[in-house]
Structures are given as C-alpha cells and as structure tokens.
Amino acid sequence: MGSLTGRRTMAEFSQKRGKQRDEVLGGTVDFLLANARLVLGVGGAAVLGIATLAVKRLIDRATSPRDEDDAKGDSTCLEESWKELSLLKATPRQQPRTPPAALSQPLSLPGPSPASPEGPTDTGPQMSPPPSSPSPLCLTFQEKLLAFEQDHVTIPAAQVALAKQLAADIALQLQAYLRNKFPELPFGALVPSGPLYDGLQAGAADHVRLLVPLALEGGLWDLVPGLDTVARDPRCWAVRRTQLEFRPRGSSPWDRFLVGGYLSPRVPLELLRKALASSVNWPAIGGLLGCLIRPSVASEEPLLEVQHECLELTVVVLLAVTGAAAEDPVLLAWPLEGLAGSLWLQDWYPAEAARLRALDARDAGARRRLLRLLCGVCRSHPALARLDRCHLSQVVLRLGEAEADWAEAALGQRFLQALEALVHSLERASLPCHFNPGVNLFGGLRAEEIDALGFALYRGLRAPERLL
C-alpha cells in the first residue's frame, strides 16, 4: 500500500514538473518569438516558430515518461516532425535585414520581480525603433563600374593641376632650346594637349602631347591625299613643295628636309630624337622644375619620362604640320613602315575629342566617361592591351550618335553595348574610322591578335564583372 502511494506521489510530482517545465519553456518560446518578429519580420518569425516547435516536441518526447500510447504514437510524431522540417526547408529564405540598434544586443529572459505577482502582466504597447536602411548584400554591375571608375580611372584634381604645370614648364624650356639650337628653323608655339586637357584622361597612363608645329610658308607647300600617292594609304598625306620655278630649292629653310620634291617626316623626326637624347641638358631643367626628366631611348617616337615626388608623367614630342584653317588636317611625323614612311600621318584625335565634347554638352551625357572606363579596363587587362584609345573612340562616337540616353544610370548598359560593338567589329576584322570610313583601324592587327582580342571580349561579355 505504501509503495503504491509512493508511486502515485512520484507520478503526480513528475506531472507537476512537466507542467512547470512546459510553462517555462512555453513562456521562453513566446518571448523569443515576440522579439524575433521585430528582428526577423513576420516571415522570419514563422520560420523560427516552426523550428522551435519541432525542437520542443523532440525535447518533450525525450524527457516525458513513456507509456504504451506514447510508444504507439512515436511514429506519428516523428512523421509530423519531418513534415515540419521539410516545410522549414521549403520556406523561401528572406534576405537578412540589419537589426535595429536597440535589438542588436543579446536578449535576456525577464526574471520574476519580487514586488509583482507571478503570472503574465500587461505592460502596454511597446514602440519599436524605426528600422534602419537595409545593407546591400551584393553590388550591381553599374555600382561596380562606378567603383572601378573611382579607384582606377579618376585622377585627383591636385595631380591633374600638377601634371599640367609640369607639361607647360617643359614646353617653355623645350621651346627656348629649339630656338637656340635651330635658329634658322621657324617652329611654332609649343602647346601641351591631349586627354589630360580634354577630360579624357584614364588613370596616369595617358601621354601628354606636346606638338612642335612646323611654320611652313604659305603658297610653297601643298597637301596631297595619301590615296593619290604611290603608297595608296588613306591614313596619310604628302607635303609637296610647290612654286619651285619662282622660289627655287633652298629659298625655304625646310627645303633641307625634301626627298624627291616632298617634305620628309623621317629626317626632321630623327633630328629631333637625337637632339632630345643628347643635346638637351635635362638634369638642369629637371632640377629647375623640381623633377627628374629622362628621354626614352627605347621608343620610336620621342618620349620624355618625367618623375615627380607626387606623380609620374610621359610627354610625347610630336612634329606637326598644321594648316591655317580650322578644317585643315593635322599631320604628324610618325614612324611608319613601307612606302608610308615618306608620308605624314593624319591626326584624328583633335576631331574626336571635339566631337565627344560637343555631344556631351548637348545632353549633359556621359560619353567621355564611357571612353575613360573602356581605356581603363583595356589597360588593366594584358589580353586587351592592343585596343588603344583610337579604337575605343570610334565605338563611343558611333554609340554616342546612335543612342539617346546618356545619363549616368545608363552607363553600365552603354559599357556592355560598347563591348558588343567591339566583338562585332573583330568578327569582321574591320573598324572604320568615324571621320574617314576608308581607313580600317584594325588593319594593323594580325589574325592571331584579332582572335585573342575577340576571345577576351567574348568572355568579358559573359561575365563583365571580371573585367573590373
């Protein structure tokens, strides 16, 4: 009898402990779910509730005394638990939100107050802090493109001003040297130019162009298109000496550079290269300007490498023939091969820069920004290094006149369109010059170079983020 009474007492005690444990666990779960709704939202709280309910049932089965009914219902409960877990897996996962500052601290369970009776108390409605702005999990391609522009393309204004000042000082020093060294040759004013001055500088890789114009006498020289010469080259022009019956050879200081009745670009270019390499006192000029200036002996065109404590700069010195009228072509003494070596190369850069500037001024567009981005991307990838500013300018000019929306928000789309246009041009191995369609700017590329460029751009189109 005593043992029967003891077993009943133990059973009642176990039931009371189970009820108390259930009440405590239930209160804890309710508190967690109430706070989870604030932190995770309704969807997140539902997911947490399903998981908590499944865990609670497993704890109940592990701690409660087993009887025959429980043993028979084990399979049913197990099936329900798997259904709940499968529902948990099937519930769409929501992106986590940044928790408010007040709820980001660890949660502590409320303990019973000695002054208040046990049981639920109504504390009234609680005001939750306003949710903070969601933190982005990943950047869009547009955002990555703008970040690349900021990190690799944009140049600080202080460096731009310093580079312009150094280029202007070097131009003045070189102007004085040429007048003293070659007083019989009338050179025009040396004026620095190039992408740095036209808002097209992409990083620090672009050269500053320092044109050395030849002041040719009016009426003694005539420009002949390259297609009308033996070379049959549409890129170039010949400078022919005229009026020889009235002004015989030797009456012009530039007659010393004549080859077969035409002004040769090779002879004055070689003269300038030798003068820059051996005659100019660059250490003294560099000390005066606070920098180190060295002529480059490895390049075919005359280059000056400038090293300042704040930046590095490359100045390319170009002999040029310029006409009196604005529509006259600008011709450069450039080291060309074959029959074109006796011709002057037409410089399309001034026309390209002016056209892009006019298009952007018309609608406050971002065409020049697109060109800077393309130049920066191609320079950062060795496989795309053969695509220079001249190639990329043609693509941007065509897109700039064909597309209407050039706001910053469309910059990513225009970037991908430019890549597609380059791929199509490489497939045809043809990129016509925007101002002279008879000139194929891909004509100087070998077949294997075209294949390598096309493959690299095709991969870039499939995953454009890898280019940045």
DSSP per position, 151-205 = III---HHHHHHHHHHHHHHHHHHHHHHHHH-TTS-B---EEESGGGTT---TT-
Query: Three-state secondary structure along 328-344?
Result: CCEEECCCCCHHHHHCE
CB atoms within 10 A of CB 201: 21
Identify the residue whose tokens are 């310093």.
162
Sign of CA dihedral 408, 372, 354, 436: negative
Q: Distance between CA 203 and CA 374 in Å, rounded?
A: 11
Please tell me the predicted confidence (pLDDT) of residue 323. Answer: 77
pLDDT tens column, 166-208: 999 999 999 999 999 999 999 999 999 999 999 998 887 679 9
- Helices 2-63, 68-90: axis angle to 10 degrees equals 20
Identify the residue whose tokens are 């005359």.
302
Provide the CA 97 distance to its chain's centre, in angstroms.
Answer: 30
Angle at 352 between CA 234 and CA 192, to 5 degrees: 105
Question: What domains can be seen in the chain, in order of their start residue?
Answer: 156-346 (3.30.460.90), 351-466 (1.10.1410.40)
Which is nearest to 38 in space by CA: 110, 152, 132? 132
pLDDT tens column, 210-224: 999 999 998 899 999
C-alpha R_g of the chain: 39
Long-range (24+ apart) CB contacts under 8 A made by 173-179 are: 173/285, 173/288, 173/289, 174/210, 174/212, 174/280, 174/317, 177/275, 177/279, 177/280, 178/212
Identify the residue whose tokens are 């996962």.
93
Residues of the chain with pLDDT below 50 are 1-14, 16-17, 19-21, 36-37, 39, 42-43, 46-47, 66, 68-127, 132-135
- Helices 141-148, 367-380: axis angle to 10 degrees equals 80
- The token pair at 419 is 């890549």
Identify the residue whose tokens are 């709940």.
84
Mapping DSSP to helix (H, G, I), strand (E, B) and coil, where does residue 235 land? coil
Q: Distance between CA 368 and CA 148 in Å, rounded?
A: 15
Residue type, 159: Q
- The token pair at 371 is 């060109």
Tell me the longest C-alpha to C-alpha distance in the chain. Answer: 148
First to last CA, the chain: 86
Please tell me the predicted confidence (pLDDT) of residue 185. Answer: 95
DSSP state of 440: B
Which is nearest to 216 in space by CA: 303, 344, 43, 408? 344
In angstroms, the Cα distances linking 104 to 98, 99, 342, 363, 432 are 9, 6, 76, 47, 61
Which is nearest to 27 in space by CA: 120, 125, 126? 120
